[in-house]
Amino acid sequence: MVEKIVTPGRVIMGRLKKGDDLLSALTEICVKNSITAGEVRAIGAVTKARVGYYKQQKREYTYISFAEPLEIISLVGNISLKDKEPFVHAHITLMDEEGHSYGGHLAPGTEVFACEYIIQEYHTGDQGLNRVYNEKTGLALWEDGK
């Protein structure tokens, strides 16, 4: 287990622009505001989407693309450091015109139609919360020193 006691910092509420890449835009906000740990939530709509699914046996992501307008029912994610840069890890649930839901690991290629976000900063103290390669999963996870 890896855990850190964190304390709340700033809260940023905002709106992304139509045409933004959702993941890049959220990452840029963190970089611009020097947010190195935190939580992100958002709702809105996208013009197209791309989400990942991690194949645990193969240790690789497979991606699904949706080339249609979808609602963002829920986006939840966290912010930590990867290679010393703010890194957003977010999962998204989307809904089509008929009410069907889809979702997954938010990937580049998801384009904003409208999006309202809330970012909660956390202070971690000392070295921060860092992602490092984890041999047991093949993923970049919060470090535990083994």
Stretch that binds Zn ion, among 9-17, 20-28, 63-71, 100-108 (CB under 5 A): 100-108
- CA nearest neighbour of 9 among 145, 112, 97, 128: 128
Read off the DSSP letter of residue 17: P
Q: Which of 105, 109, 141, 142 binds Zn ion (CB under 5 A)?
A: 105
Min separation Cβ 61 and Zn ion, Å: 9
Q: Provide, rounded to whole angstroms, the least separation between the CB of residue 76 and Zn ion.
A: 10
* Minimal CB distance residue for Zn ion: 105
- For the chain, the maximum distance between any two Cα atoms, rounded to a whole number of angstroms, is 48
- What is the chain's Cα-based Rg? 16
Number of residues forming the site for Zn ion (CB under 5 A): 1
| Least distance between Zn ion and beta carbon 97 (Å) | 26
Which range, of 34-42, 61-69, 99-107, 138-146, touches Zn ion by CB under 5 A?
Answer: 99-107
Give alpha helix (H) positions in the chain. 22-32
d(CA 124, CA 37): 7
Site residues (vs Zn ion, CB under 5 A): 105
